[in-house]
Amino acid sequence: DAGVIQSPRHEVTEMGQEVTLRCKPISGHDYLFWYRQTMMRGLELLIYFNNNVPIDDSGMPEDRFSAKMPNASFSTLKIQPSEPRDSAVYFCASSPRAGNTIYFGEGSWLTVV
């Protein structure tokens, strides 16, 4: 069974550019999460979806960040415009239902210069 698939694995971009991170959750999972990991702030939940509907986006840092889930097998996290402080590892994760185990992708390592 394929796990959570994220792309790109690594991205280096210049400040001001648009960044789009992509995620394919595990088939059949109802929940999808976007987390950000930095040395300073640890793991932060940015947003999560249930059945493609955003449930809680209170962790999204500012309007430059947006996330969509157009169908059950695909989600994007977009940063526009990007800034150096957005440099982090962005994890996508999915879960089959409430109270169950959450499975993480391998992360997208973003560097904004």
Partner 1 sequence: GDSVTQMEGPVTLSEEAFLTINCTYTATGYPSLFWYVQYPGEGLQLLLKATKADDKGSNKGFEATYRKETTSFHLEKGSVQVSDSAVYFCALSGGFTGGGNKLTFGTGTQLKVEL
Among 48, 86, 88, 112, binds partner 1 (CB under 8 A): 48
Spatial distance between the Cα atoms of 92 and 4, rounded to a whole number of angstroms: 7
Query: Which residues lie below 8 Å from residue 2, measured CB to CB, with a gap of 6+?
Result: 26, 27
Residue whose CB is less far from partner 1, 81 or 102: 102
Stretch of residues binding partner 1 (CB under 8 A), selected from 18-26, 42-50, 62-70, 72-80: 42-50
Q: Residues 33, 21: contact at Cβ < 8 Å?
A: no
Stretch of residues binding partner 1 (CB under 8 A), selected from 17-25, 62-70, 71-79, 101-109: 101-109
Spatial distance between the Cα atoms of 101 and 109, rounded to a whole number of angstroms: 24
* Nearest to 94, CA basis, from 8, 30, 21, 22: 30
Residue 53 touches partner 1, criterion: CB under 8 A: no
Residue 14 touches partner 1, criterion: CB under 8 A: no
Q: Which residue ranges make up the site for partner 1 (CB under 8 A)?
A: 31, 33, 42-43, 45, 48, 50, 55-56, 91, 93, 95, 97-107
